[in-house]
Amino acid sequence: MTTVSDIERFIHDAQNKVIIAGYGSLLSQYSRETYSQILSTSLAVDVKGWQRGWITRSTTEHQTYAGAVPDSNSRLCAQLIALQFNEKFEKREKDYRFSRLQLSDIDLNEIQAKHQNSQAWEALLILLDSVPIYICETLDAKTSSTDFPVNYSYINTCIQGCYEKRANAGIASFFEHTQGWDSGVFNDDATKALYPRATISLNPPWDTTSLIENAIKQSLKL
């Protein structure tokens, strides 16, 4: 649940920075802080008009990651993260293009419902209307394969971040609003994480394997 203090810290952290709508491993606070030294407070939102899928191939890391492309009929769960573009971050996101979002693309209903009568809410709207907001767009969409699978450790990193902000509802939203479960190639790397920026989840209240298997079954029924 987003608190007034969360909003105030987000506004403070966003001074003289840009904002990224992170929808993959950037959802995880541990992954952001440990591997990219992004220490700013994030806010959970939805992004309208974009579809997330297993479409971003890393030829250097030999894996497939979540990517996003414009789609007027889709939406995805994300977190707004304030940061400064630097070499380390751009290297992390080198397989994407930073595409500009409009404030109208950001679904803030969950935050508004709780805080619309607060000064923090008004200040947040002013900030988001004045600071550039970007999303990482996949330009060369390629599905996963045996040589470039989606590793469980990457998915677990994503859903760890969803759980941090929205608990089980966040995890459910991630699976619901991600395409490609029926056609993806997934690799169980539970014994040794192959994703280089993986979050370490100790005794998480979810079973990543079961969640993935269920998502695949549900997609095949459609």
3-state secondary structure 14-64: CCCCEEEEECCHHHCHHHHHHHHCCCCCEEEEEEEEEEEEEEEEECCCCEE
What percent of the chain is modeled with pLDDT above 90?
Answer: 88
Per-residue confidence at 96, pLDDT binned at 50, 70, 90? confident
Which residue do the tokens 């080198």 mark?
A: 94
pLDDT tens for 113-152 read: 999 999 999 999 999 999 999 999 999 999 999 999 999 9
| Torsion angle defined by CA atoms of residues 50, 53, 58 and 63, in that order, rounded to the nearest 10 degrees | 160
Ordered domains of the chain (ranges, CATH): 4-221 (3.10.490.10)
Say how far apart CA 181 and CA 58 lie, in whole Å: 19
Tokens matching residue 108: 């803030």
Mean pLDDT of 38-62: 97
- Residue 23: phi and psi, rounded to 5, are -130, 0
Model pTM score: 0.94
Max intra-chain CA distance, the chain: 52
- Residue 93: phi and psi, rounded to 5, are -110, 30
Say how far apart CA 206 and CA 190 lie, in whole Å: 14
Choose between 87 and 12: higher pLDDT.
12
Q: Give 65's DSSP letter.
A: E
